[in-house]
Amino acid sequence: MNIQVKVLGTGCAKCKTLEKLTREVVSEYAIDAEIEKVEDIVEIMKYGVMSTPALVVQGKTVVSGRIPSKDEIFNLISKTSHES
């Protein structure tokens, strides 16, 4: 199953860090996921996110306004993908 993961952020350092960590987690755990970086503020607002960076898994915002650890990213991706 291909998991849809989106990193929402306008391109700040925290947003880039979250994207890098997310890509590392997907690679290290061989997760079948498609990662998309969303920098368009109008698109970001559609998710109801008030502060970036944010992580969206399968269309559901799972983190916003902070950078989660790699373990937390893995848990969020695997938990949310099983709920879908």
Asked if pLDDT for residue 83 goes beyond 80, the answer is no
The catalytic site residues sit at 12, 15
Judged against a pLDDT cut of 70, whether residue 46 lies above it is answered with yes
Tell me which H or E stretch contains 16. Answer: helix 13-28
Q: What pLDDT score does 80 carry?
A: 79
What pLDDT, in 10s, does the model give residues 4-33? Answer: 999 999 999 999 999 999 999 999 999 999
- By the 8 A CB rule, do 64 and 52 touch? yes
Q: pTM (2 decimals)?
A: 0.94
User: Which domains occur in the chain, in start order?
Assistant: 3-83 (3.40.30.10)
- pLDDT of 84 reads 56
Check whether 82 has a pLDDT greater than 80: no
pLDDT band for position 77 (50/70/90)?
very high
